[in-house]
Structure 1
Amino acid sequence: MRKGFTLVELLVVIAIMGMFLAMMIPAVQMSRETARRFTCMDNLHRIGLGMQQYHAVQWSFPPGVVDEQDPIRSLPQGKHLGWTVHLLPYLDHGVIYDHVDDDSVYSEANARVRSITVPELQCPSSSGAIESEAVPSCYAACCGGQEGPITSSLDGTFFLNSAVSDDDIPDGLGCTLLVSEKLIEQDDLGWMSGTRATLRNTSHAPDPRQYKSPADRVPYYQPIPKGSPSPWDPKFELFEQQNQSTIEIPPESESEQEQADESGEASSQPERDPLYVGGFASEHIDLVEALMADGSVRTISVMVDPEVFRRLGSRNDGELLDPATF
């Protein structure tokens, strides 16, 4: 007579298999994230190579943003021709560059270009697409070491109408940050826009918070009320002129607002000035990848000294910085 498995033996086998799976799944997920991080680093290497080629031809790095208005406001108005556009021919995307309308990145003529995905600007760890006609960039260039509007007189390498060369970086190429990662928000203006969509500062250490999706992120200015023209609609500029005051989003009910006031809780949609720029962050685990001015790619922990990280954003502060500290 053939002996079979008892119920107890079967349960033991299932439990052992469950334990193996519980140990293996995190390891598989970690290996996948490691692969995604290496792809992210490769993207930055490609951007760095493009920067060096641009510098060899133009004797400077690309301008952070080209526009006549100073300072830059993170709204879909103006030229806002970002560094990403100028870099296209040096990333082997000359055809895309040839179709760019220089008048404004938000013009109807650029609608097709805005919707194109540039592989070098996409981190594989990013949460995914957002509801916008413009494809966002997962990377931003550094405009300085302090929080403040994007103007023509910042201490970073990329700012309004900038033309910074290697000779303009006395702090050292290996100690000056060029490009790093950013989180994508629902109201991102796209990879072409030379606003906070592609420019950030090192005013604070990389944000360690992890997000499940772009919808979980707080926008940098108040969302536009439903029924209003889309930012890509030609009527949007007229709409903005008629609504220069701060847009207020009414609460769902007065009782909810009263409860929030009594508890002292902040609004879930805090107001953000369009002049606000913000810092770097990523969806990697406790780190960001960063391209330095010498072409190297460094992995920077979110636990980095905030003062050290701030100095990385300035090209000429004259402060002594040990590369071993970041």
Structure 2
Amino acid sequence: MKTLEKKKNKNKRPIQLPFGFTLVELLVVIAIIGILVGLLLPAVQAAREAARRMSCSNNMKQVGLGLQMYHDVYRELPAGWRGFEEDQETPHWFGVPGWSWSAAILPFLEQAAVQDNLIHFEYPISDPINDDARVAMIATYRCPSDIGDKTFPLNDGGPSVVTGISFPIEMATGNYIGMFGTEEFHLACNPSLPTCNGCEGNGTFFLNRQCRFADLLDGLSNTLVVGERNSLYAPSTWVGVVSGGEHGVARVAGVSSYPPNSKQTPTQYFHNFSSLHPGGTHFLRADGSVRMITEFIDEEVFHAISTRAGHEVFIEP
């Protein structure tokens, strides 16, 4: 009997269960994975933007250190830009050679090779001898969050003291521009208007003249000297002002008439400060510190910290 039972057990086949997922189960798994990915992607993007924002802040700190060292050597900050008529004596806001403050501090940003090998300061920016300098990309002057190209075409549209310039001219992009102040360029710089004051802004960087830290009577920690501008509406440059270029002066300096990222007319986009950071726009103070300012800042406070000697009394939030 035992032998027969063993033979019967040997002849029995193991029960096979169904293998794989049903269609409903597969759809549920796909839906769960989609939800998890949907929750994860914004966190990844936020982390990447936080890293880009920190890198942008570090770039500005490097610019601040460069300005500090320049001041230590020359006992003054560089001029916002250099512009004269062809006689090299009469100031002109769209004059030559046009080189900006950001070109002057290159050796203090470990970019002495660019200044020594590519830039010929005695010639206008538009001169063919400066072709390579005009398109040189300086990483310290670029915001990692900016979506613009490394260069942009500069069209004509401004007054000129040079003839024979062939526009458009390709220019290197830069996201950090000097603080001209609260006065509009055309009012302070256009000699045909009674409001012209020789293009001297009430900020830190303007035509042909240098500020000292002693001139910043509002205090170094209360004075903005450099701000950020994105390339979406108003591409700027570290190189300088090209005589005859469209919005040439506004490519290297900015006006704080409106809070950063304010939605104004296209002309005001070129004069304003802006960024693609969701939290606000970076600004550099004269003491070398960097802060982020939102578009909701009180205009009076923004104007006060944009001027060098306004003697305003305010409590910064």
**Corresponding residue number in structure 1 for 2:260:** 206
- Structure with the larger RCO, 1 or 2 (CA within 8 Å, 6+ apart): 1
Q: Secondary structure at the match of 1:67?
A: strand
**Corresponding residue number in structure 2 for 1:2:** 17
- Contact 1:202 1:312 survives alignment (8 Å): no
**Corresponding residue number in structure 2 for 1:12:** 28
Q: Secondary structure at the match of 1:312?
A: helix
CA distance in structure 2 between the partners assigned to 1:183 and 1:146 by the alignment: 21
**Corresponding residue number in structure 2 for 1:289:** 282
Q: Secondary structure at the match of 1:191?
A: coil
- Contact 1:81 1:105 survives alignment (8 Å): yes
CA distance in structure 2 between the partners assigned to 1:295 and 1:44 by the alignment: 9
CA distance in structure 1 between the partners assigned to 2:266 and 2:92 by the alignment: 20
CA distance in structure 2 between the partners assigned to 1:304 and 1:187 by the alignment: 22
The answer to whether 1:72 aligns with 2:93 is yes
* CA positional deviation for 1:284: 0.7
**Corresponding residue number in structure 1 for 2:179:** 142
1:167 to 214, 226, 249: 214
1:121 to 141, 146, 166: 141
- Letter matched to residue 104 of structure 1: P
- State the number of aligned residues: 260
2:128 to 94, 108, 112: 108
CA distance in structure 2 between the partners assigned to 1:285 and 1:189 by the alignment: 20
- Contact 1:101 1:107 survives alignment (8 Å): no
* CA positional deviation for 1:137: 0.7
Q: Secondary structure at the match of 2:93?
A: coil
CA distance in structure 1 between the partners assigned to 2:285 and 2:183 by the alignment: 18
CA distance in structure 2 between the partners assigned to 1:38 and 1:29 by the alignment: 14
* CA positional deviation for 1:141: 0.8
**Corresponding residue number in structure 2 for 1:89:** 107
* CA positional deviation for 1:188: 4.3
**Corresponding residue number in structure 2 for 1:308:** 301
* CA positional deviation for 1:152: 3.7
Taking structure 1 as reference, are residues 8 and 46 closer, same or farther at Cα in structure 2, changes over 3 Å only?
same
* CA positional deviation for 1:60: 0.9
* CA positional deviation for 1:219: 6.1
CA RMSD after TM alignment:
2.2
Calculate percent identity across the aligned residue pairs.
Answer: 33
**Corresponding residue number in structure 2 for 1:22:** 38
- TM-score of the two chains, using structure 1 as the length reference: 0.74
Q: Give the number of the structure whose alpha-carbon radius of gyration is greater.
A: 2
Taking structure 1 as reference, are residues 185 and 107 closer, same or farther at Cα in structure 2, changes over 3 Å only?
farther
**Corresponding residue number in structure 2 for 1:176:** 223
**Corresponding residue number in structure 2 for 1:254:** none
Residues 200-221 of structure 1: CA deviation (Å, up to 9, x unaligned): 0111100156xxxxxxx9864x
- Letter matched to residue 199 of structure 1: A
**Match runs of 1:118-267 below 5 Å:** 118-129=138-149, 130-132=151-153, 133-149=170-186, 150=189, 151-184=198-231, 188=235, 190-194=237-241, 195-207=249-261, 220=267
Q: Secondary structure at the match of 1:142?
A: strand
- Contact 1:185 1:219 survives alignment (8 Å): no
Taking structure 1 as reference, are residues 311 and 46 closer, same or farther at Cα in structure 2, changes over 3 Å only?
same
- Letter matched to residue 100 of structure 1: I
Which runs of 5 or more structure 1 residues have no equivalent in the other structure? 210-216, 221-271
- Letter matched to residue 117 of structure 1: M
* CA positional deviation for 1:59: 0.6
Which runs of 5 or more structure 2 residues have no equivalent in the other structure? 1-15, 86-90, 154-169, 190-197, 242-248
Taking structure 1 as reference, are residues 105 and 7 closer, same or farther at Cα in structure 2, changes over 3 Å only?
same
